[in-house]
Structure 1
């Protein structure tokens, strides 16, 4: 199924790249290195890898982020690890709680990157996690479609990260407020925060925008840019 699907899609796509399938995994070759992804995400790459990364960077307003190469990137909800390619010269820490997505993330890890199969929230311990890989909606909040429910390790960011952070990107499928509450001891060390505040929280698909806005403005951050996908870039006014 996988190989035949790739052959079919390669007939119609940009000839500069091709989809491949081996050992039950999809991938394309990028700069002489394989980049892996799940079948549910194949459509994201139809215009090529560079176009996908450019689109991701634009959606998280990265063109408005001014970082030096020694500033750390933290990625909460790393999925396949695409965001590390938005800032390939910076050190990167990625967190991904879904076992299947983390397996792909491991394969795509850059040498300057550190990754953890950990859920990020406002406490340390264990949490119930709802797997929804096909729709990329896995979360600590129950989504509309659930494939599996598992227990995963959960930690606060300020438990795991102690150094200054240039940029935190957060896509926690409705748990963005909890992720940020887990940064209490770090806010003064964070330069930028870019966060997905779409309507993704739980079965009712609520937005986390109001509570996140109040929290971040209360600790000295300001919105400087937002994209059509409800992704907002905040900057620390004290930097």
Structure 2
């Protein structure tokens, strides 16, 4: 019964008109949702949770109201990380890192990793930079760049209200900025344990730009949901067909989200 009540309250607070009322409701929702009554404080364009974790948008707070530990478990499940045996020094590439929440999950492995993040969003990258500093056990490399099928520049369409953004035009765009875009295979990587691929519909182009190093990537966790462009198309067919043709197979899928984990058959 408690879960049903929590879901009802969560939907209701989304419509609160003032920022102060919204933050107060989210704090209450955190207590109701076993989040331990998280602290939530506005800091410029960001929101700071429990004195240290930075979030780029008020509207993303529902992802955190059950606590950072729950958020870590949720992402571990979404990206099927339990299927991967991480070893010290393994390289994890986070495409579309947003504020770096993947680090919350990776940290639960207890293994020191090399974490390489790509995030072109202005506020998101600043949150990522601050959040990454909380994980000194990992070797962290942060790039305020987009990944794609070419090297150069591109227009990044940002929706600051929802904390989303894409190289493709998206609904609700509040800001357009020119950002650097790079091919993943133009960068000096050896073997990569995991590529987490979440590019808001731009996943096929990112994979095209990774063509030269696909044989060195062991796992790819790809968000293939309905986020491509203004038509909100799924990238499931394009991503799956591309990776199957390049020697990958599907080993797991998330519950409740269109996220697939692929493994490179030649690296078994």
Deviations 1:194-237 (A, max 9, x none): 00001111011111111111211111100111123110000000
SS of the aligned residue for 1:129 comes to: strand
Q: Distance in 2 between matches of 1:60 and 1:125?
A: 30
Does residue 1:237 correspond to 2:237, yes or no?
no
Q: Which has the higher helix share?
A: 2
Q: Distance in 1 between matches of 2:225 and 2:127?
A: 25
Aligned pairs, number = 236
Deviation at 1:163, TM superposition (A): 1.7
Contact 1:19/1:26 (<8 A) preserved: no
Partner of 2:54: 36
Q: Distance in 1 between matches of 2:163 and 2:100?
A: 14
Partner of 1:139: 166
> TM-score with structure 1 length normalisation?
0.92
Q: 1:197/1:12 Cα in 2 relative to 1: closer, same or farther (>3 Å)?
A: closer
Partner of 2:38: 18
Deviations 1:146-178 (A, max 9, x none): 111111100011122422110000110110011
SS of the aligned residue for 2:227 comes to: strand
Q: Structure 2 unaligned runs (5+)?
A: 1-17
Partner of 2:245: 218
SS of the aligned residue for 2:219 comes to: strand
The equivalences for 1:59-70 within 5 A come to 59-70=78-89
The equivalences for 1:1-239 within 5 A come to 5-14=22-31, 16-24=36-44, 25-29=46-50, 34-38=52-56, 39-88=58-107, 89-109=112-132, 110-111=135-136, 112-227=139-254, 228-239=256-267
Q: Structure 1 unaligned runs (5+)?
A: none
